Structure 1
Amino acid sequence: MNKVFSLIIFILLITSCSEGDIIENDIDFNASLESCSNLNDNTFVFYKIDDSINQALSLGFTSTTFEVDTVPEDLSITIPLNETTNTLFYRKFGSAINGADYFCASVPPSGVTITQELIGSDGSIVITYTVDSTTSTETIYNRNIALQNVTIIGADRVIRQEVLEFGSDKITITN
């Protein structure tokens, strides 16, 4: 009787414990942070591309107070994400792309196949600056870009992350 009972429990455990589809929710990857801007319409793009697996993460936003090569007085800027003017995109491509051509050109190159796309629907872009080094002629700042309380939506999934470190770079300001 114990063997039959144990066999029934074992069969129930095997058939009822399904992990379902495993979805990789970590969209953070190591790649250099790049940027471009169009000062005529106050648009800015920060992006990073992982060429080894043809994926990119990009932030695009509009601001009349932000400048790529300056540092704000309070050393921090917060920009709300939305689905129209301040956007976050995660994309996988069918082949390698050139970031400057794809993200910074008025018209992106043709023939680029997007195999997966996730779009940020809410959250905030937080850009902070810290002093890296100072000389008599220049100050070098670390610029860190993070996403806070972001929701990223795709055709088959929703990812929610409290903090997603987007990337960092350096800015040199002449004293």
Structure 2
Amino acid sequence: MKKIFAALLISFALYSCDDGDITVTSFDLEDSNLTPCEIDGKKVLWVVNNEDVYESMSLELDDSRLNDTITDALTLNVEDTLTINLGGESNSRNRLVYRIYDGEINGGEYFCQGVPPGSPRVLEEYVSAGGTVTITTSFNDLGSNENDDADGDGVPNAEEGFDPDGGNHLDTDGDGIPDYLDIDDDNDNVETVDEENANPGEPATDEGYLDTDTDGIPDYLDPDDDNDGVLTRHEVRQSEVEAGNIDPRSLIIADDGDPNYLKKELSEISFEHDLQLDHSITRDYRSNIVIEDFNLIRQDGSGEDIRFDSYNLGRLVVNNIPFELLTNRQQELLDAEEENEEENEGTSTN
């Protein structure tokens, strides 16, 4: 009785087209966390319910606009909405399938193998006819609570000047990458994660961040950590920089184990350069999937046709996807390099 009542309360239109009566089917899978598979070149997003009714919903998609592998989000384009048409045939490469089984179902075994297992047995199957799938992808690391940290540097988005409304994000070093995405917020070539935490006995800000020179600016935002008048990034050996190591922590003159950039008595530039760390990070994505204006047709020959105006199938969340970031200076160098390559190609052609 509970299932029948739930079916009657579904917010979208759900009806049988042949006689106008409500079809009693749970479809208790809306707004689900989806799991991806790839079979025969198709992306398969599925969810199962093993309570009361053994049921599944699976969305099969074959579209060149989707990412090649299931380890990525369906699309990394967070600007546009992706719309895919569902076919009207049962063997369509794009279709939604609802099934009821006679026992508990293991979704990984059933949807992620070329040949489904013989058990459990399918009791009822409905396949979509027509309709559209709308995929809207966004970043899933842009919350404002203490656990949301888009660049993984240990400082939450909210403390790094993330502006969820106006896009006026804080960029302390003015390098073109906002702090909430910048692994080196002060452009001193020491990653934020390596200069934010104060050990017991070390000077710290009121918020608990390391502040070597006690000037009130935490080291991870201070381009001159020891206040000796020399930028931290310039307290590094020329030979180290030329060898590809631009980390100021590598330059230690005395035997005390402290790098030059933390010794305020050393006030001369070691080597001046404009090289910057690789700022690329990984990010988390969330794809929301809504299916609209479609029918589900029962596959027993009865012609039962259930109509949906809209069905929020759920979401696919994928974490740790590579995300390239370039500072303004790095972009300038890249543009100059590409321009030189084009000029050289033009010269060799002539």
Q: State if a TM-score over 0.5 links the two structures.
A: yes
* TM-superposed deviation, 1:139: 2.3
Q: Give the corresponding residue for 1:12.
A: none
* CA offsets 1:116-138 (integer angstroms, 9 cap, x no match): 11110110111111222232323
Aligned identity (percent) is 26
Counterpart check, 1:174 vs 2:322 = yes
Q: Which runs of 5+ in 2 are unaligned?
A: 1-19, 142-149, 152-180, 182-280, 324-350
Q: Aligned partner of 1:55: which letter?
A: E
* TM-superposed deviation, 1:57: 0.5
Q: Aligned partner of 2:138: which letter?
A: T
Runs of 4+, deviation exceeding 3 Å = none
Matched pairs, number? 154
Q: Give the corresponding residue for 1:35.
A: 36
Q: Give the corresponding residue for 1:112.
A: 120
**SS, match of residue 100 in structure 1:** helix
* TM-superposed deviation, 1:47: 0.7
Q: Give the corresponding residue for 2:270.
A: none
For the 8 Å contact 2:86–2:95, the answer to whether it is kept is yes
Which has more helix, going by share of residues?
2
Q: Report the Cα distance in structure 1 between the residues aligned to 2:104 and 2:139, rounded to whole angstroms.
A: 35
For the 8 Å contact 1:150–1:161, the answer to whether it is kept is yes
Q: Report the Cα distance in structure 2 between the residues aligned to 1:169 and 1:104, rounded to whole angstroms.
A: 16
Of 55, 72, 78, the residue aligned with 2:83 is 78
Q: Aligned partner of 1:61: which letter?
A: L
Counterpart check, 1:146 vs 2:290 = yes
* TM-superposed deviation, 1:21: 6.4
Q: Give the corresponding residue for 2:129.
A: 121
Provide the TM-score with structure 2 as the length reference: 0.41
**SS, match of residue 54 in structure 1:** strand
Q: Report the Cα distance in structure 2 between the residues aligned to 1:103 and 1:23, rounded to whole angstroms.
A: 26
Q: Which runs of 5+ in 1 are unaligned?
A: 1-19
**SS, match of residue 65 in structure 1:** coil
Provide the TM-score with structure 1 as the length reference: 0.77
Q: Report the Cα distance in structure 2 between the residues aligned to 1:113 and 1:42, rounded to whole angstroms.
A: 25
Which structure: larger Rg?
Answer: 2
* TM-superposed deviation, 1:65: 2.8
Q: Give the corresponding residue for 1:49.
A: 48
Q: Report the Cα distance in structure 1 between the residues aligned to 2:310 and 2:28, rounded to whole angstroms.
A: 11
Q: Report the Cα distance in structure 1 between the residues aligned to 2:80 and 2:50, rounded to whole angstroms.
A: 32
Q: Aligned partner of 1:122: which letter?
A: G
Computed over aligned residues only, the root mean square deviation of the Cα atoms, in angstroms, reads 2.2
